[in-house]
Structures are given as C-alpha cells and as structure tokens.
Amino acid sequence: MFVDRAIIVIRAGKGGDGAVAFRREKGEPKGGPHGGDGGKGGDVVIVAEEGMSTLLDFRYQRAWEAQDGESGYKKQQHGADGQDVELHLPPGTLVYNDETAELVHDLKPGERVIIARGGRGGFGNEHYKTAVSQTPRHASPGNPGLGYTVRLELKLIAEVGFVGLPNAGKSTLLAALTRANPKIANYPFTTLSPQLGIAELDAQRRMVLADIPGLIEGASKGAGLGHEFLRHIERTRVIVHLLDCQADNTHEAHENYRVVRAELEAYSPELAAKPEVVVLNKIDQMDPKESQKAFKALCKELGLRPGKDALAISGAARVGLRELMDHLWHMIHPDDAKASGWKDAAVEA
C-alpha cells in the first residue's frame, strides 16, 4: 500500500534526576555530598532509508518516544543516558511541526537528523556544595525532552516525471524503460499511486523516473487522482508530457496537452516552468505516414521543434526509446551535452 502522509506524536526522553547522597565510608561517617548526575534523555532521530517508498509504518504506530535518562546514583555515579528512537523514512519526506505548520526538515538521501532533543540530566547534590552549605540536601530534576505532533509528507525524489491524461501510456513507458512493474490495463486510472523506476543508459548513466497517476481537467482543484499526487512531480527536474496519438476522448492531442498544462499551472507556476519534453506515444497504432503527419501537426499547433521539444515514440513497441533516453539524460546533465556537442532546447536556453 502506498501511503504518503501520516501524523504522529514524538517525544524525546526526559533527563534523569540528580541524586541526593552522602559519602559514608570507614573513617568518614559524616562525609560530604556524593550524589551523581542524571543521564541525558534520548533524542528522536529521523534517518533516510534507501529503498523505502511509503509511510505505511507510521499509519499504524502513532506514538514514538525515546527512552528517559536514568537518575544519578550515590558515589557520584552518573545515570545512563536514554536510548534514541530512530524513525526510518523514505528520502524526500518533509517533516512538519503540525502544531505550528513549521517545516522542521526536508529529508535527503543519506541524512540522519535529530528532530527532538532529549532533556539534560539533573545535577546531583555534589554540585551544590559551597563554603556556606557543606551538606546540601537537594539536587536538580532532569529537564523534559522536546515533544510535539509531527506531520510527515512524502514527495518522491525522481529526476524525470511522467504526466498526462489517463491511458496516455505512462505505465507502459515506465515498464519499457526500467525494471518497474506497474499495473497496466486499458482503462483509466490503472495507476493508483506514483511508481518509481531506474533507467540505465549504460554502466555510468542512470536516471530515476516517476509515473504520476493520470491528470484530468480540474485535478488542481481535487478532481480525479491528480491533486493527490501532483506534489510528487514538484521535485523532478524534467517533465515528460505524454500524449496518445489516437486520443479516445474526442479531443485532439494538442487539446489534451493544454488541459494538463492548465492543471500544472493552476497547481504551481514553479512546477509548470520546469523543462519539458512533449512525447507523442503509441505511434505503432497508426500507419507510419499518418503518425508522422500527426506528429508534425502537433508540433506546428503547439510551436514545438521536432527532435528538440517533442519526440514521437511507442512505449509498447519500444520505438524511439533510445532517443528519448538520450534526450532526457542531456536535459538533466547539460554539462555532458555541451561536452559532447549535443544540443536541445533546454541547453540552448
């Protein structure tokens, strides 16, 4: 089950109390204060867990508490520090203080971050000895650990995000380019949650691709599944806008393109401004001359440059996929493109 939001309560450990004790040894029946300090409370730590892609674990366990520090002992023995509690989260998780709406941390791959510190241990009575008070009979309590309600929101980290209307062929394309195994069928909303896959051009070049559930008109206002998952393409560097060359909704490909673009712009102008390549899919379902004619008509209608801003492929028949992969790689890595002499719209801009 894909879960990309959860609300939990965290509490760091309380510091242990300082001890009140006195030295009682042979020859020193009235020795001075000898109480030890309390241990520090454990921290609440978030850890980026590679390969993890859901917040399902946090849907069923709401409370996460670190261990309290131990109280001090006699003979100036320090109480043990409390153990930390670790929250293993997918990279890309946003951690908010749900009470203040403040962003606590944006978790990146490989990070380990403390989001709630444990309380400091209290001082034993040995610390309170003075020239005036030789036998203090008080110690300080441990400080409480930080606790608050946390809202977790996952935004998948992918370099390329596929967008388009339902049945545009996004899942088929993801399966063709990667080892991902998304559900594929000939009806709308086959994909009910974002899917990730890794495309390998060669031993040195890899890209993370994301198939975002189909957008429909009104998605930015909550219609269909689009609003639920639009945020997952906010992190992508390049958008692949997939279009069916034979639209089955009485609209031409360029009209479907404008529907999705309007939803992207309504949701986030920053998202709509990301580099984009328009891909006309399923050309194997048309006569080669007809598909070429449809591709040229699409480019003319939208003001796109064939081979630069737009490509024609077939995910199912695996036509034009190598060209698409190279195109995306050079859009993501413009320095490589310049070094190799490769040109595209993103580099020229």
Return the pLDDT at 96: 95
Mean pLDDT of the chain: 83
- Residue 194: pLDDT over 80: no
Answer with the one of 101, 125, 154 that is the final residue of a domain.
154
Statement to judge: residues 200 and 275 lie in one domain = yes
Return the pLDDT at 347: 35
Q: At 309, is the pLDDT very low, low, confident or very high (cuts 50, 70, 90)?
A: very high
* Counted domains in the chain: 2
Answer with the one of 98, 119, 154 that is the final residue of a domain.
154
Whether this model's pTM surpasses 0.85: no
Statement to judge: residues 129 and 172 lie in one domain = no
Statement to judge: residues 145 and 290 lie in one domain = no
Statement to judge: residues 283 and 186 lie in one domain = yes
Q: What string of H, E and C letters represents the secondary structure of the chain?
A: CCCCEEEEEEECCCCCCCCCCECCECCECCCCECCCCCCCCCCEEEEECCCCCCCCHHHHCCEEECCCCCCCCCCCCCCCCCCCEEEEECCCEEEEECCCCEEEEECCCCCEEEEECCCCCCCCHHHHCCCCCCCCCCCCCCCCCCEEEEEEEECCCCCEEEECCCCCCHHHHHHHHCCCCCCCCCCCCCCCCCEEEEEECCCCCEEEEEECCCCCCCHHHCCCCHHHHHHHHCCCCEEEEEEECCCCCCCCHHHHHHHHHHHHHHHCHHHHCCCEEEEEECHHHCCHHHHHHHHHHHHHHHCCCECCCEEECECCCCECHHHHHHHHHHHHCHHHHHHHCCCCHHHHC
Arithmetic mean of pLDDT, 122-151: 90
- Residue 74: pLDDT over 70: yes
How does pLDDT run across 197-242, given as a tens digit for each residue? 888 888 778 888 888 775 655 544 554 444 556 666 777 889 999 9
Statement to judge: residues 294 and 165 lie in one domain = yes
Domain holding 203, by residue range, is 160-348
Statement to judge: residues 134 and 171 lie in one domain = no
Answer with the one of 154, 179, 213 that is the final residue of a domain.
154
- Residue 44: pLDDT over 50: yes
